[in-house]
Amino acid sequence: MASRRLLTATAVLTTSALLLGACSSGSSKPKKKAVATTTTTAPPTCPLTGAPSPLGTIPQRTALAVKIDNYVAARPQSGLDHTDLVFEEPVEGGITRYAAIFQCDNASSIGPVRSARNIDIGILGQLGNPPLAHVGGIGPVLSNIDAAGIPNLDLGNYASAITHPAGRYAPYDTYTSTAALYAVVPSSVPNTPPRPLFSYSTMVPTGTAVSSVHVPFSSNSDVTWTWSAQKKTWLRFYNGTQADTNADGVQNSAANVIIQSVNVTYGPWLENSEGGLEVQAQLSGTTGPAMVLRNGVEISGTWSRPSSSSPTVFTASNGTVITMAPGRSWIELVPSTVTVTPTPAPSTTTSTTAAG
């Protein structure tokens, strides 16, 4: 009996060893190694451009409007290539002036800064009445700015925000910066980004392919926007061929050029000693023709704005809201008496709805 139990135990041990050997043979699957995973977060987009922030984050601050001169003697300007939006407005004498909007980028030099105009009030209402930096203005205009609730950053009262670059002479020598302006924004102004003014999409609405558009405000501001397929942006020129270049050598450009036809009247106030009358333009409570340029196409339609505090809506002829391409928008407030002329792209290029 003892020998039988010994044989049985030996058989069990032998069988167990064989099973263990089989489990440890090369036919077993190797253990999987843990693989680290990473999560990619899309960069934040600026509310007024729909594009990634050049600063890597959205600054928690209000938008700023700065009045920049565009008389021939004021060029080249500084800072326009760091804007989110630019509104080009007609003023007396057939010249134009800019309401340059900064929020998501910084500019170390902005100018030359000049006086405010009544049309600025109509522009800034849709942006929530951000602070307006300028140098003076006639009495009725300054009173209207205050009555509209626009924080008035008249640089004549903020010497610390002014610089006078070498080689610039009055009245084209008053400059500032985003850092200097934000330092003097009243504490009562909320440190919050503005609401978006447009809807943005990389899909291009149906439009007509064009190579350029001529916007002849006057002989002083004879503007042409030309599509650069290489740079995928609209480039700004004067007199057809002269590049509109900033003092830092960067040509003015825009992802969207919005041509908004507005009714302009003159008066009742004298704007200067030469007899120029203040320009008035109705920018809300009405509608008018519009043209949007983006991605090499032109989309015709209308603009509408029910009230001064509501954004301007641009609608295509098929009734859909025109979306903008991510990037800077340049809004041309063109008097209805000015004829804007698109130049069709070469015949090999047709109307498109594809992203460009």
Phi and psi based region of residue 55 (left: phi greater than 0; alpha: psi -120 to 50; beta: remaining): alpha
Predicted confidence at residue 96, as pLDDT, reads 98
Is 140 contained in some domain? no
Is 203 contained in some domain? no
Strand ranges (DSSP E) for 42-137? 64-69, 85-90, 96-102, 132-134
Predicted confidence at residue 137, as pLDDT, reads 97
Helices (H), the chain: 2-23, 119-124, 139-147, 178-182
As a whole number, mean pLDDT of residues 257-275 equals: 94
Angle subtended at Cα 79 by Cα 196 and Cα 305, rounded to the nearest 5 degrees:
30
Looking at the chain, the whole-number percentage of residues with pLDDT higher than 90 is: 83
Residue 154 · residue 136 · CB < 8 Å = yes
Distance from C-alpha of 211 to C-alpha of 346, rounded to nearest angstrom: 8
Provide the Cα torsion 22, 25, 27, 30; round to 10°.
120
Distance from C-alpha of 64 to C-alpha of 89, rounded to nearest angstrom: 17
Contacts of 192 (CB under 8 A, 6+ apart): 60, 61, 62
What is the tens place of the pLDDT at every residue in 58-113?
999 999 999 999 999 999 999 999 999 999 999 998 899 999 999 999 999 999 99
Tokens at 93, concatenated: 């004498």
Tokens at 231, concatenated: 């740079």
Q: Is the pLDDT of residue 316 over 80?
A: yes
Number of domains in the chain: 1
As a whole number, mean pLDDT of residues 7-35 equals: 43
Q: Residue 136, Cα to own-chain centre: how many angstroms?
A: 26
Is 250 contained in some domain? yes
Is 162 contained in some domain? no
What is the tens place of the pLDDT at every residue in 45-61?
999 999 999 999 999 99
Which CATH number fits the domain that encloses residue 233?
A: 3.50.90.10
Strand, coil or helix: 8:
helix
pTM recorded for the entire structure: 0.87
Distance from C-alpha of 46 to C-alpha of 119, rounded to nearest angstrom: 26
As a whole number, mean pLDDT of residues 240-252 equals: 97
Is 322 contained in some domain? yes
Predicted confidence at residue 230, as pLDDT, reads 97
Predicted confidence at residue 273, as pLDDT, reads 84
As a whole number, mean pLDDT of residues 17-32 equals: 44
Is 245 contained in some domain? yes
What is the tens place of the pLDDT at every residue in 187-208?
999 999 999 999 999 999 999 9
Is 325 contained in some domain? yes
Structural domain boundaries enclosing 291: 208-259+282-344
Is 352 contained in some domain? no
Using CA atoms, how far residue 158 sits from 82, 153, 305, 310, in Å, is 22, 8, 34, 31
Q: Does an H or E element contain 314, and which? A: strand 313-316
Nearest to 277 by CA among 106, 140, 103: 140
